[in-house]
Structure 1
Amino acid sequence: MLRSALLAAALSAPVGLLVEGAGSAAAQTSDLVSRSEFRVCADPANLPLSHENGSGFENRLAELFAAKLERPVAYTWFPMATGFVRNTLRANRCDVIMGYAQGHELVLNTNHYMTSAYALIVPKDGNLANVKTLTDASLKGQRLGIVAGSPPASHLARNGLIAKAKPYHLFVDRRVESPALDMLKDLRAGNIDAAVLWGPIGGPLVKSDFPEFQITPLINEAHPPRLFFRITMGVRPGEKVWQRKLNSLIRRNRNEINTILLEAGVPLLDDMGTETLKGD
């Protein structure tokens, strides 16, 4: 469910920019960025992150950045699955992906604008309400919902929880299937005892549609893989001028960015992934 850290691994290979030299490359990559629109690459049905009706929190972030640049937002819609980067950013149809985990080679990352983590979601009044880690003995014998292939699956396997876990698909077209929503519906129905989801997906869904649940960021795991990630914006490799412009906007509008994320229900952490941030 962590889009860039997990989905990007399965995206098709980057398309090389056909240039003859460093000077030529700088000129061409600079010319690719629109000067009249804030062109965003996005999934049309990936709530709570993005949606073609503009209701996702990434839509709100795009509107904020477009306003600061005094440009309208223009979207290129494509399902967040195999070929997303190749068919959007690398095809020069758009200039920025709003949410991308720090450090992946398919894009040039901006500075991060949030840090968040995978989270445990359980009923507020249930017997798992005090669980803070996936090593807690209270989880033994419980059936957990988990997105297959996501980092928390390694923790479930280490802790003897994977045999009873219910897996949900990772690579889907969210216009026809929503693993996160299906998982939370199963939790409500009692088909699973707890859900493990990427916080920026699970948190907003709990806030908007599942108020009987609580969400606990998994920031206290003692063993790898780590479950927190710094989230950036992704631009085309080589577009350093565009990257620096976005970095400046992130730095100067940190409070407004945090307000949008917290209002949406995203669990925000400090940069080291050790403490949760609260709104003012």
Structure 2
Amino acid sequence: MSVVIADKTGISKLLLCISAAVVIVLTASVSHSASTSNRQALTTAHLRVCADPNNLPFSNEAEEGLENRIIQLLAEQLDKEVRYTWFPQSTGFVRNTLRLRQCDLISGITTTSEKVQNTNPYYHSAYSIVHPAALSPAIDSMADARLKDMKIGIVAGTPPGDVLATKSLMGNIKPYHLVADTRRNAPAQQAMQDVLDGETDVAFVWGPIAGYFAAQHPAELVVTPLLKEDARVRMNYRVSMAVRYNETDWKRTVNAALAEIQPEIDQILAEFGVPLLNDRGEWVNAN
């Protein structure tokens, strides 16, 4: 019986060959998976969308939100039927929906998100200040000296909080939790309700939520986007839809359809009271 004893160099070469083979197999598998999902998203008769079931003004299970309206337009443009997978838009949303292939599209996400491949943005908005209409002149900046004597509502962990911390206003703040199960809690909406009820004097809220809530109380609340703040703390964001990485053809298809329906999208956003900014960051739909 003969025994072959490989030297260290031989073992190293063997391991390298095995490693290379594993990489090739894994790469081919990932490529095949991406190609298959890309093709399925393009060819299926359904527009499979992941969205929050209780998160107005964006979406709800009754399909009354602005994203629901826009998704319906998109489906008609693509000649598909909408099929929703509902999941609370909080921690784990992307991981438990798009990544698990429960859907092929997320209806709304900030364009800066690195968890997904973003489509072209379909609107641009900003964090806004909300206060009673009786307050005059309106507050349009976090540098306004009157804030020092006010009770301020703010959702913890949002950009306005970072600015307030530099202005020695933390003692004035009533905080609301950022991470919440939307089936039970709506922190931004509660912050605005507290302004309406006189529990706080002002609130700093993401623009679409602020605009939607204030539109239901037009004689009582004023909304102004924060456009005068230090550029080091970003207050404005573009919003896109989202697909999985490597699904480039599907992304291009969605982008083309969004471009076709953009005028109708703008009309829906206006109906919901969303403060909209142009490419220069200017407020374009001020009352």
CA RMSD of superposed structures (Å): 1.7
Report the alpha carbon displacement of residue 140 of structure 1 after superposing the two structures with TM. Answer: 1.4
Which amino acid in the other structure matches residue 149 of structure 1?
G
CA contact (8 A) 2:195 2:203 kept: yes
Report the alpha carbon displacement of residue 124 of structure 1 after superposing the two structures with TM. Answer: 0.9
1:265 and 2:273 are equivalent in the alignment: yes
CA distance in structure 1 between the partners assigned to 2:279 and 2:84 by the alignment: 30
Q: Deviations over 1:89-135 (max 9, x none)?
A: 111111111111113221000111100000000111124x4211101
Task: Give the length in aligned residue pairs.
Answer: 260
Report the alpha carbon displacement of residue 250 of structure 1 after superposing the two structures with TM. Answer: 1.9
Structure 2 alignment gaps of length 5 or more: 1-25
CA distance in structure 1 between the partners assigned to 2:270 and 2:235 by the alignment: 19
CA distance in structure 2 between the partners assigned to 1:248 and 1:146 by the alignment: 37
Identical residues among aligned pairs (%): 42
CA contact (8 A) 1:147 1:168 kept: yes
Structure 1 alignment gaps of length 5 or more: 1-17
Q: TM-score, normalised by structure 1?
A: 0.88
Query: 2:18 — aligned with what?
Result: none
1:92 and 2:101 are equivalent in the alignment: yes
CA contact (8 A) 1:230 1:271 kept: no
Secondary structure at the residue paired with 1:97?
strand
1:220 and 2:237 are equivalent in the alignment: no
In the TM superposition, 1:27-38 aligns within 5 A as: 27-33=35-41, 35-38=44-47
4+ residue stretches of structure 1 with deviation over 2 A? 18-26, 208-211
1:69 and 2:61 are equivalent in the alignment: no
Query: 2:158 — aligned with what?
Result: 150
Which amino acid in the other structure matches residue 172 of structure 2?
K
Match of 1:113 among 119, 122, 131: 122
Q: Deviations over 1:197-240 (max 9, x none)?
A: 00011111111256410100001112421100011111111110
Q: Deviations over 1:57-116 (max 9, x none)?
A: 111011110111111111000011121111111111111111111132210001111000
Match of 1:132 among 129, 132, 140: 140
**Structure (1 or 2) with the greater helix fraction:** 2
CA distance in structure 1 between the partners assigned to 2:108 and 2:280 by the alignment: 18
Report the alpha carbon displacement of residue 170 of structure 1 after superposing the two structures with TM. Answer: 0.7
Report the alpha carbon displacement of residue 19 of structure 1 after superposing the two structures with TM. Answer: 5.2
